[in-house]
Structure 1
């Protein structure tokens, strides 16, 4: 079993934890085995080890120090639910796959643990090759040391880009080099579970227009324990950023599936971990080659798979662990990350969203130039793809499009007209704050839905937890997430008004004071409930 001994011969000693000392200190006999967490109390570490421990997260967005204590080959759990263990697959009848892994300045242990998890948990007959595509990494351990290490694995091929081209173009390079009838994409900090590939290939073999997605298990960025996804979530699109998020299975999907092992229809996917027929992906135009570096590729692929005659299926018996960084370490070269993201999503909006493109952030190309999209529009026409309205009605009826509400835009205080309601942190925070109005949306873009929700994408104001008004995941059930606006006051169905108190929002007994008065743009009249939540 490959372990830290191999790594220590190839990497500078200064970058490595004192493995023997740390294992003894914390009684680590088989660190991380079967996906167990590696728990380190850094206060017990010697000073020099504590410094390595702290620096490893700042540099990588995850605790590399802990990752380096775990063998490059560790056992991963059996897939859940338990019914998956009873399923059988005819290995000889399944197609082979080429696994494409893109990396740029990836740490040694996470990259090679990804590779080993593929080699160790995939039936040899099904694995044609592993294609590692290096997007111009600068770190020394990814140069000659990596080439020397991979020389012992004939199925692994290393492809180098001389310049930074971004993960989208790098994936296209890997896809074009693939020689099997299916291609499986993975990120470079993954761990494949036992029997991860067979369920994916079985679905693609059944219908080549299926993009098969495994259940993504979280590998904790701090202790590298594998946290089972329970219950299973599906990916959804979010407006106006054209990004994606995760949510519980919709009621309609719970009713459609017959067993815990049945494929689940998912409106979107993350875009970097899936299996697809090579010919189908080629017919779809692969990724838009004019997308830069990162961003928007998952939305483009999600929309065109569904709208052009295919399906995205989440496969409950296929599991892949993934390290979610607490911050990105991806370098954009000479391309600004803001420019890259908004150019990409602007291109996607103009090709695939029809009249709904106006609800995205750069559909008019005012933020950044989106380039010529005529070739992608022609591709859509040639494929006979359906409308985005069809997608909303048939694939993603739960999707709420921010900007299409009864009221929409910034919520401005009458007491202090320069101050607007702001979502402190779009992804994680449950609190709100008052900030100077920015006139560009972002955390200050709010919608009032048909249900009276005050929405910021998939999050809603919620008055039910404390004196302060909170920001919580929208549940569509009314109650503390239902509000009314009379052109002056925002109030709940329980008779409380939203007020500005310092830099936070609170609910108070309505008294007509200026702190309880707000200006908000009216979009349209209330109408009958639509497909929106």
Structure 2
């Protein structure tokens, strides 16, 4: 299918604030990549919200349907409003691999990875790209509001057990954050390619955003939050993927094995050994011959070790 330069015909009243962002020409600014699986109740609403939002920057939308069985993407074929959306099909390869697949046909200078159950405000793309430029950042997220409550999160961090916890609102309009939740993440495409994208060793769903965030920081890049943009996100009570607890433990162990040194690996194994299905997850990790090769590659390319990350963000592990 042909790609489309989606851009708003309605300019901001303050044009001077947008002119420094981009002069719309034949280039494409942003590729929005949405991986989905069985999102029939939310995907169309998400696409409509994106298409109806005002933005000066041009963008394309790429949907990666990872084995849906509920005709999640049928609307793309039945309405001309969606005819230029790129639609890619995969079969249960998981979130990380599906996002990587979507980038292969992307044309934008920036990549924005979005969940299939969000709604966005006007100028969300413009503002987050501006934040990257003004702060010399490399990746950016918005504030995330729970679609069904008034709860908000401003990026995440780890507690002493390396469990993800949401951060409160920072004092400034943008700030560095340790972990970017996968609801929405914008990143410069060249940096995404430099770090090798999301790690395909992770199983189906879970932890991929945390591994990606850690890798960015260890490789010398910076993640920011733009608090001026707030995106509504539906926190679903069910998972689109049928994952087991051993899969989730495997993903945590995989993250640690890929990025932690010897002493911290000992600590993570001690922390997780009492969890259900640890033996299954650990055995699967041991039998994955590619992991050691990937670990070596990451250690060669990284500028900092994980202790730098823990110290920088006051994580007591």
Q: Give 1:93 shift.
A: 4.7
8 Å Cα contact 1:122-1:197 kept in structure 2: no
1:129 equivalent in structure 2? 60
8 Å Cα contact 1:304-1:385 kept in structure 2: no
CA distance in 2, matches of 1:148, 1:86: 36
Higher helix share: 2
Q: CA RMSD in A?
A: 2.7
- Distance 1:212-1:155 versus aligned 2 partners, 3 A rule: farther
Q: How does 1:2-13 map to 2 (within 5 A)?
A: none
2:98 equivalent in structure 1? 170
Q: 2:311 aligns with which of 388, 393, 408?
A: 393
8 Å Cα contact 2:37-2:68 kept in structure 1: yes
Indicate the SS of the match to 1:89.
helix
2:257 equivalent in structure 1? 350
1:152 equivalent in structure 2? 81
TM-superposition CA deviations, 1:65-109 (whole Å, max 9, x none): xxxxxxxxxxxxxxxxxxxx999332425871000111111134x
Q: How does 1:137-286 map to 2 (within 5 A)?
A: 137-139=68-70, 141-142=71-72, 145-161=74-90, 163-206=91-134, 210-220=138-148, 227=150, 229=152, 233-240=154-161, 242-249=162-169, 254=171, 257=172, 261=173, 263-286=174-197
1:114 equivalent in structure 2? 46
8 Å Cα contact 2:29-2:57 kept in structure 1: yes
Which shifted more, 163-172 or 149-158?
149-158
CA distance in 2, matches of 1:87, 1:190: 29
CA distance in 1, matches of 2:154, 2:110: 25
2:234 equivalent in structure 1? 323
Indicate the SS of the match to 2:178.
coil
Q: 1:382 aligns with which of 292, 300, 313?
A: 300
1:528 equivalent in structure 2? none
Q: Give 1:128 shift.
A: 2.7
Q: How does 1:48-87 map to 2 (within 5 A)?
A: none
Indicate the SS of the match to 2:220.
coil
CA distance in 2, matches of 1:317, 1:346: 35
Indicate the SS of the match to 1:350.
helix
8 Å Cα contact 2:76-2:83 kept in structure 1: no
- Distance 1:93-1:245 versus aligned 2 partners, 3 A rule: farther
CA distance in 1, matches of 2:87, 2:50: 15
TM-superposition CA deviations, 1:249-293 (whole Å, max 9, x none): 5xxx64xx4xxx3x1111111134110011101111111111110
- Distance 1:149-1:338 versus aligned 2 partners, 3 A rule: same
CA distance in 2, matches of 1:272, 1:318: 13
Indicate the SS of the match to 2:17.
coil
Q: Structure 1 stretches of 5 or more lacking a match?
A: 1-84, 221-225, 402-533
Indicate the SS of the match to 1:137.
coil
CA distance in 1, matches of 2:54, 2:112: 12
TM-score, L = length of structure 1: 0.50
1:81 equivalent in structure 2? none
- Distance 1:173-1:207 versus aligned 2 partners, 3 A rule: farther
CA distance in 2, matches of 1:340, 1:206: 40
8 Å Cα contact 1:114-1:191 kept in structure 2: yes
